[in-house]
Chains A and B, each alone.
Chain A
Amino acid sequence: MKNDLVLRVIGKLLIPFILLFALYVQFHGDFGPGGGFQAGVIIAAGIIFYALIHGVATTRRIVPDCLVETMLASGVLIYAGVGLAGLLFGGNYLDYFVLDPNPVLGQHRGIFWVEVGVATTVSGVMLKIYYMFASRSGSED
């Protein structure tokens, strides 16, 4: 589909907004609908959209496999790290109240990093699954 002008132009117009919307869903999840899981999926969807237009090989140069696999693991580590941070500050595991002198701010900080972890893992897994399927079929590009 590399030579389809309409797809290329639409993709170029839409993908930045898809990624921006993912960030909005991620960081506005405290106030509106959304959160880490949805944001991760939307990020992955944006990149998969790019891969559908430009082929998996091109996408792998931009978002390489090692980055995706690192995202896969580091998301869980961020989440578990927030829990450990709670322990270090003298609270229980995954206790956000101690993360800041102001307990409410501590909660916000904890939720923020937890959501970042979830989004990282989810988008990593989705991209990895897509890469796996696409590279096996070989007909995507």
Chain B
Amino acid sequence: MAIAVLTLLLTRNLFSVIVLSGIYSFLMATILVALDAVDVAMTEASVGAGISTVLLLGALSLCKSEEATPAHKPWLPLAVSLSVGALLVYGALGLPGFNDTAAPMHQNVVPRYMQNEVDVPNVVTAVLASFRGYDTLGETTVVFTAGAGLIALLRRRKKIEPVESGRKDDA
């Protein structure tokens, strides 16, 4: 995984960058499986490695395949991302250990979720669709809004180029 990230940083060919980020997503999915988060792993593999790779390749066919050399040196962004990363690592050190049943997050609502009054064997589904139904409704609305926004943005572009839109509608 580290190799994939390092190669990602150094490569300037966008095609290999996209393929490498797909590989990275698949490795991430295997890590999530190892952490017993199978639902998230499935999402990561299908969205991160599958759909977004295809979409990025589609975007790549609209532009040049070599990354342009940046106009200025990236020292400030580098410093910002390094310090934020260091902060996150520092914060993560304060978290309770993995599989620690005495951790505060397992004390409040989790026992009730685990009693499983919904009687659905997969607790993740029960939490997402039933206990946290409002959240998931919000998420679905977000996905819908993203799609609607994209339609609004790209449709308008089509009208500016009437020749192309006519040809595409025929096809």
A interface residue numbers (CB < 8 A to B): 25, 29-38, 41-42, 44-45, 48, 52, 57, 60, 69, 72-73, 75-76, 79-80, 83, 94, 96, 104, 107-108, 110-111, 114-115, 117-118, 121-122, 124-126, 128-130, 132-141
Contacts and interface: CB of A to CB of B under 8 A. Distances in A.
Contacts of B50: 41, 45
14 contacts: A35-B39, A41-B50, A48-B54, A52-B54, A69-B151, A107-B119, A111-B130, A115-B129, A125-B144, A128-B150, A129-B147, A137-B62, A138-B164, A140-B61
In order of increasing CB-CB distance, the 3 nearest A-B pairs are A125-B147, A133-B58, A33-B38
B46 interface: yes
Interface string B121-159: 110111011100110110111011011101100100100
B168 interface: yes
Contact of A34 (B39, B61, B148, B157): B39
Contacts, number: 143
A129 B120 contact: no
A139 B127 CA distance: 43
A37 B43 contact: yes
A140 B58 contact: yes
A76 B54 contact: no
Secondary structure dominating the interface of A: helix
Nearest to B60: A137
A117 B140 contact: yes
Contacts of B61: 137, 139-140
Contacts of B168: 135, 138
Most buried by B among A76, A107, A134, A136: A136
A79 B140 contact: yes
Contacts of A124: 147
